[in-house]
Amino acid sequence: MKKINFAVALLMLGSSVSFAQTEKKPMAQLINDEFKFAVDQYKVLAKNIPEGKTPQTFEKGKPVNYDIKWWCSGFYSGSLWYIYEQTKNAEIKQEAEKALKVIEPNQTYTGNHDLGFMMYCSFGNAYRLTGKPEYKAVIERSAESLATRYRPAVKSIQSWNKSKLWECPVIIDNMMNLEMMNWVSDNGGNKKYKEISVIHANTALKNHFRPDFSSFHVVDYNPETGAVIRKATWQGAANCSAWSRGQGWALYGYTMMYRFTKNPIYLKQAKGIAHFILNHPNLPADKIPFWDFDAQGIPFAKRDASAGALMASALLELGQYTSGSEKTEFKSAAETMIYSLSSSAYHAKLGENGGFLLMHSTGAYPLNSEIDVPLIYADYYYLEALARYKKWYL
């Protein structure tokens, strides 16, 4: 029986990559085809969104949409802008502009740390493509709101509010919200935002990581003294485990911090995280990770396509700052991830999957939330990875 199970396990680990290899097409053609597909698929998605809501997932045959203050509210508009950039489809642009209007009130929201996800992935891409000053003003106001969550004693931006579980929690996801702060400071805004970003990144560097470059999910601090109360993993398998999407946030975050600062310490950290991910014995052959690198039941554990898409996008940028065999390694890994995600193992058919592009993501497995479903941010980082590959490698 053990031999049979082992054989099945090997088959599962290699199944997605095998499909990708047999169906492989030139990357330029794949990217072009994917954005054309996204135009039609997102028209399906658009029909499932009630007025004033933003799409999150599709579960049990029904669309799931959330209030604009949900942390994922900016990914839909951001995805539309990526699609419009590549296709110039007028209907997609119109829907992107409509989606911006829905979330615009978030610019003054101070209830959590997710303003970067909400407002830079959306309005940041909109401003990049249109240059409209009103979009830039929204980004600047959003950075001001996010800065209110900076805690000088902790030297970090507080992620979640105080609760029975946490005093002053800071999660690794918060690295992603620093991009908006850096950008505003570098584009005529208050310089304090970038200063806060650097301080926050340095604190996370000190407290969030283990010697092997893997990251805890949450570090809880004493808000008065800045002392670490505990280190934990809320969405991962255990406090000692490496939650896959968290490793992706860390990889992307320090790569991005190097882009804005050219601090070699950040580049070293990003490369260390990349090597941890790519050399991990539990990374499947198709390079789409299980929801946690230490998940119980590997290789039968659920995958997380959102982590794979996020990692692919980050690796493509990291490849821009490296050379030789390291650059080749990062680009090659990202290519494998893209080919895997574009295969039938993870990619939806037109009109199916509630209009989302990718299947098989995992939101929060320990909370029994969003398991083996499409997620809007998986689509966003997949589209970003495609756009980055076209820009930098074709």
Structural domain boundaries in the chain: 13-47+265-394, 71-148, 149-232
Query: What does the pLDDT read at residue 23?
Result: 60
Look up tokens 């004693």; give the residue: 153
Distance between CA 361 and CA 72 in Å, rounded? Answer: 14
When pLDDT is averaged across residues 169-186 and rounded to a whole number, the result is: 98
Mark residue 370 as left, alpha or beta (left: phi above 0; alpha: psi -120 to 50; beta: remaining): left
Query: What is the CATH number assigned to the segment(s) 13-47+265-394?
Result: 1.50.10.10
Residues of the binding site for substrate: 114, 173, 233, 245, 249
| Cβ atoms within 10 Å, residue 257 | 27
pLDDT of residue 306: 98
CA-CA distance, 155 to 210, in Å (whole number)? 19
As a whole number of angstroms, the distance between CA 225 and CA 175 comes to 22
| Predicted local distance difference test score (pLDDT) of residue 22 | 47
Query: Across residues 277-283, what is the average pLDDT?
Result: 98
Enumerate the active-site residues.
Answer: 114, 173
Q: Give SS3 for 370.
A: strand
What does the alpha-carbon distance between residue 275 and residue 255 come to, in Å, rounded to a whole number? 13
Residue given tokens 């003003």 in the structure block: 137
Q: How many CB atoms lie within 10 A of CB 133?
A: 9
- Give the pLDDT confidence of 24-44 residue by residue, as tens digits: 899 999 999 999 999 999 999
Which tens digits make up the pLDDT trace of 286-309? 999 999 999 999 999 999 999 999
Give me the sheet containing 228-232, strands edge to edge.
169-171, 218-221, 228-232
H or E segment at 361?
strand 361-364
Confidence of residue 283 (pLDDT cuts 50, 70, 90): very high
* β-pair partners for 215: 209
Q: Return the biggest CA–CA distance within the chain.
A: 65
124 vs 139: CA distance, rounded Å: 7
341: nearest Cα among 302, 381, 283: 381
Binding residues: 114, 173, 233, 245, 249
Query: Does residue 16 surpass a pLDDT of 70?
Result: no
Q: Smallest Cα–Cα separation from 110: which of 68, 59, 75, 69? A: 69
The alpha carbon torsion through 10, 375, 143, 166 (nearest 10 deg) reads -70
pLDDT tens for 364-375 read: 999 999 999 999
Average pLDDT over residues 371-390: 98
Query: Residue 20: pLDDT above 60?
Result: no
Least confidently predicted of 13-22, 73-82, 123-132, 181-190: 13-22
pLDDT at residue 12, rounded to an integer: 46
Percent of the chain topping pLDDT 90: 94
